Structure 1
């Protein structure tokens, strides 16, 4: 592969040989002597081992390299085989420190070695608030030049030392302010990398490279053996730290051209688009190119971004808040309206609202820089081909509670189907896209749904967006099948002839029709558009079964019919007044009532496995029980809530021993080192809040979401869920939890929140008091 002359890493004992050739190709090798040779087959003479010319003086070594021959140099001369000098054994450093094995900060002759005093000054500046911060004091590049990736990497490293959400948001706000003030064109790249993304979710652009390929690329870039890299990974527990250690052990002959944020993002996108034969080799070459040019802590964050494991506790919601605040502070953008009471909070709210409607930074940020934050919602609107975040429902425990909440308000009840949420986009050119609740493309998963669109839409419909539930369906028996059946369907590139699980689409809302967004219309109006624009095809496309009533007995009977029809329960929605569609919001205008609400807590919970205990006896080799956690949005941490054993996994759930083995296998690849006190944000992708007395055998990075049902909630001195919300020193735990299903359609940060856990506890307590009162009345 033809490459331009680039800096290659040399150890103190290594030499550099150049082949005088008009067409030079650089191929880095782990040999003790790095050779530059041409693509054409070298002549027999050129392949001869070069002889030393003692008559001429030896060239002076690069600065910082000894002119004396080392033992390693002599060994290298004897053997041309691959060498791998042992790297200094690094203890896990405190976040932000570049320590060597002796605890010292390595002083490299590399021009990129940071000036400690200047770096400390930048760190202090980035921590400042509001008007105390001046972007010019931290920008290490000229106005209009590309933003160095090192600036962002060091900022991320600084964030890794913080645990408070506000402090993290302040640092990131100042990073964005600096970019806006100097090189606003790079803001898109900085935001994407800060959010650990490379493109909008609906584009389906994935890096598609595993740890094995990254390890190989790292080893080749730094002239190491893969075996040694893997051994150091076991010691440090973080491939990013291994990359950083590998880079710090190197010397460079030439100063590398600094990486920029736009270069990094563009390379990531190129990696994601590589396909076909030799695509993995091409991806590794791109990664090697980045690592060779990386300095300081850049390798650490390049690797973490490639793994999609930032490990600093930075959630996308904080990125949105920081982006809004940065725009509000910017002098070159329009000032807030005079009536604004809290400009920073309002700006952050606008950004989050706009992103829920148009989750695409490539479209949001240029408009933000052009118009400012205050007019952003006027131009960044819901459009075809970009899925909105789905509206969500709050749990309720009984029909009487619904009637109390909706007094004097007309509402409707719909079946709550046990399937997969789907957003169907039909374009004016006749193309169809289907998106999941996470805005991921599911079009290839449901070719049968795509084919049925032309049959169920009326001729007058030129474009639309439907909010639906795709459900496994037996057309012969006209019966809804369990979600577990649907989950066996392949996820990508499904061929019509290979379909074994048939589905039916149940539509319950319409968000866009013939070029107009309907989000601000009342549900009654949207529903009428839905009924007028489509025709039901039994077993293929149907409207959600609904009942509009305020009669207690009628609603209870309707709930029972829904349960008998293999549905989870009911969704209750207001029809008028405040009945607009609110993307990403868990609204009081939508309530959900499930079949087992009457005898247990008011909702199932979506929890994240964060640790496990080894099985005993016949279950040796698999995990016997799991520690589950909810997600605290405010502190961006996962808080333990219960321990679920294998009996709870199997009891009446349809799960088998094979399922337990599969879960153990899946989670085994997510094992991380034990989080240490005050170092959790350094060791894992997000902070884990777990009491010290809990000692699981293994810990996991948050990766999966499990839907769990429990008898009730109780105050717990052991678990940390919603700690301080109900009791100042205690958390909340689940009693008798049982696993319902694995939520493949959810990310860990979409798990049940600590706030929701507290709400469920309060609702349970109120209902318990009401039940006691009713018994006393009787």
Structure 2
């Protein structure tokens, strides 16, 4: 067995091939794709018939912007033709045209929201989005960027770090003060209705008005929300309430005042109420079932159709629209910033985007993720006859480091933090969620110039930050890393040293490397950096072609305080870096996978039960939930009370008590039985990693009930750690729960693909 500490000779062949095995040996391997129908596609002018079954919504995973259709031009074109068929049958625009050049009315966006809210059919959702975006392009293209951002409930790109998510108490106070209703009445309505957006709509329709304010515009709402989100310092709460009141007072003016019938909140889920959607934006949850992937498809569709009508007066073909979709998805996967892409698209056209938009230092891209496996045999079956390598899987925090030297013939695309500015150049470090980590790891950015070789002018590095024992010169447990402050860290006050373990290079000296093979990227990585003990190392990896030796390598990685192995394809198109995708070309093998259900789960804390005995001073157990990406709801999956030390329980009691709410949110799917209710409910803010012995059906819990008929629960769940790098809507999804349950040997052998889970690296 060969073993490398991050080194590999250029002429050395890293071959890990399994001999004499077939796909039939592997129970957990995904089934082969069904052959596509050989029938010829309909001519361009032939109407595409869309069946009710094809319209029905399918669960979407926001973590993966790309889909299988991206790799199949025929499938993408067919899908776009069906979308065009739905668009043609949808009639005129639901909101009348405003004057060309005027700001887009917020009421027009809310009308689109309402149309989407009233259907679960995937193609209809995309059609509503595309239709409205075409209207915006035709009348006020300058507002397109703001419209798209609000459609996905964002104020800016993720790396800017601006989020809403205003507390319920502040919103209720603003509703009461803006409508002249008491807080007690607002709370009573909330308890009765269960949706604070509908409470706002009801309150607005009961409000008398003396002066009619100007109608809200999309840009005006976005600017107001941005101001609210950025309000800090002394008196911030009152100023936020004031900003919310101003928005709500200008909303739904047509329904307020004497003689108005008001808003019927029992009809069409409250309809296109501006108040309703403003409140949902403030809460951070539109709850429309509108995934970013759908918006991206609708945007490409709208732009291609608009460009075709302007140039030729005719609709674009399904093939042309599919080409535009592939182009936009590819660009967005490398440069996830509508603020950059949309202006360039409006200026140069969608088909020329690649000439103006590419991966660039300063704009973090969504990382490539790995599929979990249940056995080493499964790994070898997957990579049979292919060259691949086994890297240590470090137990730290996924990070992406961007750098541009002062001598480079390019600029850093965003404002670099002070910690990332040096005599040599500028740099920044981002999390897997594109969060700016410069205030958490200023020590990394300060030490970075020492690792960079003279010829390295710019780069984007994929890596893991790991706690490091300086005296023993070894990796420390993940829990040690979590003891570091998350913000305002001073390099000279750091008590937990961090070592960066680099495993991929995505950009080097002005060139994106994502389409190159992993072997080439690894060689470039070796040539661009100097290793420094305890500060910067290349990921260790081993080369072998024997199952037993991979087992030994796995055990050695665990002894080195790592989680296991990452097995990666080395050559060919399959070894390229796939941003934002969980790929079968990267497989992760943890020691825990060899028994039990496989990967751990990342679950959201919804509630808690008061402790007994030694735990009377704290919460003794907690109610956890997965996330339904299609419905945008949290579905309960287990109660957990093991794996906690007294110190952890005390810490959790303090943090969670600051986020209590009076009643469950309307998007909590939980048992209605009195005995099943937790003593305390929380805002959905905290994500915990949990291990379980197996999964079982249970009428008490709601996880994956839509897919399986009954809810799934965890048997013997055990707390592992807090996932501070994950947002609640990035928790394990209900679809993943269902797949994990179905692939258990006790449930069904040789049935279904491996779970498409979206946990960590």
Normalised to the residue count of structure 1, the TM-score between the two structures is 0.73
Matches within 5 A, 1:588-607: 588-607=584-603
Cα deviations by residue, 1:457-507 (Å, 9 ceiling, x for unpaired) = 112111111111111111111121111121121111211233222211111
In structure 2, the partner of 1:318 is: 294
- Report whether the alignment pairs 1:307 with 2:303: no
The answer for the alignment partner of 2:20 in structure 1 is: none
Do the aligned partners of 2:429 and 2:436 also contact (CA within 8 Å) in 1? yes
Number of the residue aligned with 1:426: 403
Alignment partners' CA distance in 2, 1:213 and 1:589: 47
Q: 1:250 aligns with which of 181, 186, 207?
A: 207
Cα gap change, 1:218/1:176 in structure 2, threshold over 3 Å: closer, same or farther? Answer: same
In structure 1, stretches of 5+ residues that fail to align are 1-125, 675-682, 771-778
Equivalences for residues 380-419 of structure 1 within 5 A: 380-419=357-396
Conserved 8 A contact 1:403-1:550: no
* Separation of aligned partners in 1, 2:625 and 2:657: 20
Classify 1:167/1:132 alpha carbon distance in 2 versus 1 (closer, same or farther; 3 Å): closer
Structure 2 runs not aligned, ≥5 long: 1-82, 256-272, 407-424, 751-761
CA displacement, residues 327-372 of structure 1 (integer Å, 9 cap, x when unaligned): 3543437899999867766655554443222111112223344455
User: Partner residue of 1:168?
Assistant: 125
Native 8 Å contact 2:301 2:325 kept in 1: yes
From 167, 171, 180, the equivalent of 2:137 is 180
Partner of 1:42: none
**Alignment check: 8 A CA contact 1:606 1:706 kept:** yes
Which residue of 85, 90, 104 corresponds with 1:147? 104
Which sits farther off after the overlay, 265-274 or 484-493? 265-274
Q: Distance in 1 between matches of 2:672 and 2:303?
A: 39
Task: Kindly state the Cα deviation for residue 152 of structure 1 after the two structures are TM-superposed.
Answer: 1.6
**Structure index of larger Rg:** 1
SS at structure 1 position matched to 2:153: coil
Q: After superposing the two structures, state which structure 1 stretch, 731-740 or 757-766, moved more.
A: 757-766
**Contact 1:672–1:701, Cα closer than 8 Å, also in 2:** no
Instruction: Give the corresponding residue for 2:248.
Output: 291
Q: Distance in 2 between matches of 1:654 and 1:473?
A: 26
1:508-529 Cα offsets, whole Å, 9 max, x none, are: 1111111111111111111111
1:237-293 per-residue CA deviation (whole Å, 9 max, x = no partner) reads: 544344333322222222211110011112223344455666555544443432332
Q: Residues 551, 333 of structure 1: CA spacing in aligned structure 2 closer, same or farther, 3 A cutoff?
A: farther
> Which residue number in structure 2 is paired with residue 734 of structure 1?
714
Task: Kindly indicate whether residue 684 of structure 2 is the aligned counterpart of residue 696 of structure 1.
Answer: no
Does the C-alpha gap of structure 1 residues 767 and 696 become closer, same or farther in structure 2, counting only changes over 3 Å?
Answer: closer
CA distance in 2, matches of 1:161, 1:150: 16
**Distance (whole Å) between structure 2 residues aligned to residue 332 and residue 406 of structure 1:** 47
Higher RCO (C-alpha 8 Å, min separation 6): 2
C-alpha distance in structure 2 between counterparts of 1:634 and 1:460, whole Å: 48
CA contact (8 A) 2:164 2:284 kept: no
Is the contact between residue 638 and residue 713 of structure 2 (CA under 8 Å) also seen in structure 1?
A: no
Contact 1:334 1:372 (C-alpha < 8 Å) held by counterparts: no
SS in 2 for 1:252: coil
Q: Does 1:750 align with 2:730?
A: yes
Over 3 Å counting, the alpha-carbon distance change for 1:221 and 1:720 in structure 2 is closer
Residue-by-residue CA offset, 1:556-590 (whole Å, 9 max, x unaligned): 11111110111111111111111000011110110
Q: Deviations over 1:407-446 (max 9, x none)?
A: 1111111111111111011123411111110011111110
CA distance in 1, matches of 2:312, 2:601: 43
- Aligned partner of 1:580 in structure 2 is 576
Superposed CA RMSD: 3.6
From the superposition, tell whether residues 351 and 620 of structure 1 become closer, same or farther in structure 2 (CA, over 3 Å): farther
* Distance 1:666-1:708 versus aligned 2 partners, 3 A rule: farther
Which segment drifts farther, 214-223 or 181-190?
A: 214-223
TM-superposed CA distance for 1:755, in Å, is 4.3
Residue 733 of structure 1 and its aligned partner are, at CA, apart by: 4.1
C-alpha contact (below 8 Å) 1:328/1:336 kept by paired residues: no
- 1:396, CA displacement in angstroms? 0.8
In the alignment, the residues of structure 1 paired with residue 283 and residue 747 of structure 2 have an alpha-carbon distance, to the nearest angstrom, of: 46
Q: Distance in 1 between matches of 2:675 and 2:508?
A: 53
Q: Separation in 1 of the partners of 2:312 and 2:733?
A: 35
Residue equivalent to 1:23: none
1:251-400 correspondence runs (5 A):
251-274=208-231, 282-295=239-252, 296=255, 297-330=273-306, 331-332=308-309, 348=325, 350-377=327-354, 379-400=356-377
* Residue number in structure 2 paired with 1:680: none
Instruction: Report the CA distance between 1:608 and its aligned residue.
Output: 2.9
Distance in 1 (CA, whole Å) between partners of 2:242 and 2:160 is 24
Does 2:188 correspond to 1:193? no
1:39-54 alignment runs, 5 A limit: none
Rounded Cα–Cα distance in structure 2 between residues aligned with 1:339 and 1:395: 41
Is the CA contact 2:626–2:635 (under 8 Å) kept in the aligned structure 1?
yes
Write the deviation string for residues 128-172 of structure 1: whole angstroms up to 9, x where unpaired: 931123555522522222111122223324433444544433333
What SS does structure 1 have at the residue aligned with 2:285? coil
Correspondence 1:64-103 to 2 at 5 A? none
State the 4+ residue runs in structure 1 displaced beyond 6 angstroms: 333-346, 689-694, 766-770
Relative distance call for 1:767 and 1:511 in structure 2 (3 A) is farther
| Partner deviation per Cα, 1:47-97 (whole Å, 9 max, x = no partner) | xxxxxxxxxxxxxxxxxxxxxxxxxxxxxxxxxxxxxxxxxxxxxxxxxxx
- How many residue pairs were aligned? 628
Alpha-carbon contact 2:304-2:316 (below 8 Å) kept = no
Q: 1:709 aligns with which of 651, 673, 691?
A: 691
Q: CA deviation at 1:615?
A: 4.9
Contact 1:128 / 1:170 at 8 angstroms: preserved in 2? no
Q: Distance in 2 between matches of 1:257 and 1:720?
A: 45
In 1, are the aligned partners of 2:156 and 2:162 still within 8 Å (CA)?
yes
Q: Which residue of 1 aligns with 2:550?
A: 555
Deviation track 1:631-682 (CA, whole Å, cap 9, x = no partner) reads: 4445555444x31331x343xx79743245246426524x6446xxxxxxxx
Q: Report the counterpart of residue 465 of structure 1 in structure 2.
A: 460
Question: Which residue of 1 is the match for residue 469 of structure 2?
Answer: 474
Matches within 5 A, 1:123-134: 129-134=86-91
SS of residue matched to 1:593: strand
Taking the aligned partners of 1:250 and 1:766, their CA distance within structure 2 comes to 59
CA distance in 1, matches of 2:737, 2:91: 41
Number of the residue aligned with 2:73: none
Q: What CA distance in whole angstroms lies between the structure 1 residues aligned with 2:732 and 2:540? A: 27
For the residue of structure 1 that corresponds to 2:344, the secondary structure is helix
Q: How far does residue 753 in structure 1 lie from its aligned partner after superposition?
A: 3.3
Q: Is residue 691–residue 720 contact of structure 1 (8 Å, CA) maintained in 2?
A: no
SS in 2 for 1:504: strand
